[in-house]
Amino acid sequence: MREIGLAIIGCGTVGRIRAEFARDYPGIKWLGLCDLREDLGLKLKEDAKADFFTTDFQELVKRPEVDAVIIATDEQAHVAPTLAAVDQGHDLFIEKPLATDARESKMILDAIEAADVDAVVGYTVRFRRRFLAVKEKIKQQQIGDVTTVVTRAFMNRMAPIATIAKVTQNKSMTPMVVSGTHSLDMSFWLMGDKTPVSVYARSHVNVLKDYGTNDATLGIFTMDDGTLFSMNISWALPVEWPGPVYGLQLGIVGTKGVIDIEDTHRDVVLASEVAQGAGYAPDGFTPGAPRHVDFLTTYPPGDMCEGQLWGPMREETNCWYQRLCTGANTPHATAQDGHRNLMLTMAMDMSARENRQIDLPVSADEIMDSLNA
């Protein structure tokens, strides 16, 4: 087994989770951390028994102990640390998206491919047991060739409010780019070798207008073989909605069968006189309304028990550590997948803004020119 020196840049919620898993993984021989907030980073250094902390990511990625890097900063701060890690030739785990600017995403992908580093992108939903089982059934041709895919995502508005509050430029922080990307990635992963040739979408804005983002986006992709993919998301459900984050429904129709996935988490319901907290609660965020009913197991990373997180993010993180240490093949999204997902979600937003069908592929320059028009 290869032993790994791991650097984690970003010590917030997700960086903390992955650092604590690193502490317990036998193949991680050295752990270094970086965050602009010294108090946050030093607290995680103590809790995770890390070997090193700095507020300078350049200093961290250039340490001789480092073999691999996790980029867990806020969405709009991925570019510089990612490129610094690529420049050092380190293997990478990048929280989605690669970037929030299509041109920067393409620049990152080009750098990764030129350096020939192994880079994956954080799409935790892939590691839910039900989706892994479905992937295998489709791979075995249990439903024949896929012809139609329908995806519906419902989200409590707490997540977009908390996410957008952290950023200064939110023009690209839309339902599709930030959250719909998970169900889009899932659908393309399950469909397999399908190439989209066009997309038409519409968006609606009302209750999230003051936050500078849309309430919902609905669209339809056409593939090169005629397969249709309907992708819909609303992330403006009331704070009181029991699902604190994601609720998905996904239907996949093939020439020999169908797979219908109910992932709304309504099978485990908690109702209590005790108010429930936010499903996604970065520092300083409060739900703003009491919540007394919850659909349990909704939170994408997993659930806490006995002081530990159990669920998809544990599987995803430890699976990546296994990939690093043993060279195992894993179901992680690649950097190419991550860039494709950003381009397609932004193409949906472009179609909705311009009220026309967008022929695919579309260039990063076209997308950003449309966004900034």
Is 151 in the same domain as 33?
no
Name 94's bridge partners: 71, 121
- pLDDT tens digits for range 219-232: 999 999 999 999 99
Q: Judge contact between 247 and 281, C-beta under 8 A.
A: no
Residue 339 lies in a domain: no
Q: Judge contact between 78 and 98, C-beta under 8 A.
A: yes
Residue-level pLDDT at 283: 60
Is 111 in the same domain as 149?
no
Is 246 in the same domain as 323?
no
Q: Judge contact between 59 and 66, C-beta under 8 A.
A: no
The first and second tokens of residue 207, run together, are 């209750």
Mean pLDDT over 242-259 rounds to 94
Helix, strand, or coil (residue 371):
helix
Polymer length of the chain: 373
Task: Choose the weakest-confidence range: 62-71, 155-164, 219-228.
Answer: 155-164
Residue-level pLDDT at 169: 66
Q: Which residues are CB-neighbours of 162 under 8 A, at least 6 positions away?
A: 278, 280, 281, 282, 285
Mean pLDDT over 53-63 rounds to 98
Domain that holds residue 203: 129-300
Residue 367 lies in a domain: no
Q: Does the bond joining 175 to the residue before it have cis omega, within 30 degrees of 0? A: no
* Residue type for position 131: F
Mean pLDDT over 69-90 rounds to 96
Examine the pLDDT at 47 and tell me if it is beyond 70: yes
Residue-level pLDDT at 281: 63
Residue 183 lies in a domain: yes
CATH code where residue 256 lies: 3.30.360.10
Interstrand relation of 303-305 and 308-310 (parallel, antiparallel or unpaired): antiparallel
Which residue, 245, 277, 300, sits at the end of a domain? 300
Query: Where residue 158 falls among pLDDT bands split at 50, 70, 90?
Result: confident
φ, ψ for residue 293, nearest 5 deg: -130, 135
The first and second tokens of residue 245, run together, are 């984050």
Is 91 in the same domain as 146?
no
* Domain count within the chain: 2
Q: CA 265 to CA 243: how far, in whole Å?
A: 8
Residue 343 lies in a domain: no
Is 33 in the same domain as 83?
yes
Q: Is 233 exposed, middle or buried (0-12, 13-18, 19+ CB in 10 A)?
A: buried
Residue-level pLDDT at 256: 98
Mean pLDDT over 209-221 rounds to 94
Total H helices, total E strands in the chain: 12, 18
Q: Which residues are CB-neighbours of 43 under 8 A, at least 6 positions away?
A: 11
Residue 306 lies in a domain: no
Residue-level pLDDT at 246: 86
φ, ψ for residue 112, nearest 5 deg: -60, -45
Mean pLDDT over 255-280 rounds to 91
The residue among 164 and 14 whose pLDDT is bigger is 14
CATH code where residue 45 lies: 3.40.50.720
Residue 355 lies in a domain: no
Q: CA 302 to CA 305: how far, in whole Å?
A: 10
pTM for the predicted model, two decimal places: 0.94
Q: CA 238 to CA 243: how far, in whole Å?
A: 10
Residue-level pLDDT at 359: 98
Is 147 in the same domain as 97?
no
Is 288 in the same domain as 149?
yes
Is 106 in the same domain as 185?
no
Query: Where residue 347 falls among pLDDT bands split at 50, 70, 90?
Result: very high
Query: Where residue 239 falls among pLDDT bands split at 50, 70, 90?
Result: confident
Helix, strand, or coil (residue 189):
helix
Q: CA 30 to CA 58: how far, in whole Å?
A: 17
Examine the pLDDT at 284 and tell me if it is beyond 70: no
Is 139 in the same domain as 235?
yes
Mean pLDDT over 10-39 rounds to 97
Residue 101 lies in a domain: yes
Residue-level pLDDT at 282: 57
Interstrand relation of 4-9 and 68-71 (parallel, antiparallel or unpaired): parallel
Is 110 in the same domain as 169?
no
Write the Ramachandran bin of 50: left for phi over 0, alpha for psi from -120 to 50, otherwise beta.
beta
Mean pLDDT over 308-322 rounds to 97
Is 104 in the same domain as 136?
no
Residue 346 lies in a domain: no
Is 32 in the same domain as 108?
yes
